[in-house]
Amino acid sequence: MTSTLAWAIFVIGAVAGTLNTIGVVASALGWYEYYPPGEKGWKFYSLWGLSHVLNVSLLALAYLEWGTLGLPGWTFSTGLVLFIFGYAIAIAAGHDLGFHETTGRAGELRTGGWYRFSRNPQYVGYILATVGYILWTDAVLVVPLAGIYLLWWFVFPFAEEPWLREQYGEPYEQYAQRIPRYIGSETVRALGKRGDDAQQQTQG
């Protein structure tokens, strides 16, 4: 049975996540400029403050509600692998992008590293990590809160792209035409080329 504490934490996380979602969706639809914040200001602190509240809620609920969903045993190991693998991709891609840009502030256009495979490799990684977290924790109240994050990973690019076009102009347009938003045929070709290059270096 879900405790009162778990429900309280869930409500706090849900409110924080919903407030951010409203801002992000409004940005994606062009109604209001909330995300990306562009610089440190109230939008920046609101976005990341609410995100941290949601993060803490997810961690607390994983502890309090662990195993309450009743998933099959194999999902534990599968979820853990997905979580680690996805999070590793997101961290590596974040390193390529840089901390400044990762937090939604203006900086340089990055098209190398992980960004030659996808325009949003961090989100691809976080999608895997979020699904993995749901399977791994097997917690009932984690599912809807993690679902908020899944929504963000799919909506964030649509809120960011108008801002990126305004910031970087034609170089970004050319990049966007060449590299998929998430993953696609160009991702496969780039990965294949990377593998061929690595093989040639080994043989050399």
Task: Please report, for the domain that includes residue 134, its CATH number.
Answer: 1.20.120
**What residues are paired with 38 via a beta bridge?**
105
Structural domain boundaries, residue 101: 4-203
pLDDT at 202: 47
Question: Structural domain tally of the chain?
Answer: 1
pLDDT at 188: 79
E strands, the chain, in order: none
Those residues with Cβ within 8 angstroms of residue 120's Cβ, 6 or more apart along the chain or in another chain:
156, 157, 181, 182
pLDDT at 198: 45
Query: Is-contact 13 53, C-beta < 8 A?
Result: yes
pLDDT at 185: 78
pLDDT at 98: 82
**CB-hemisphere CA count at 13 Å for 99?**
0
Q: What is the phi-psi region of residue 30: left when phi exceeds 0, alpha when psi lies from -120 to 50, beta otherwise?
A: left
Mean pLDDT by 10 residues, the chain (204 residues): 94 98 96 90 96 98 97 97 98 88 78 93 98 98 98 96 92 95 84 58 50
Q: Which two tokens stand for residue 87?
A: 């999070």
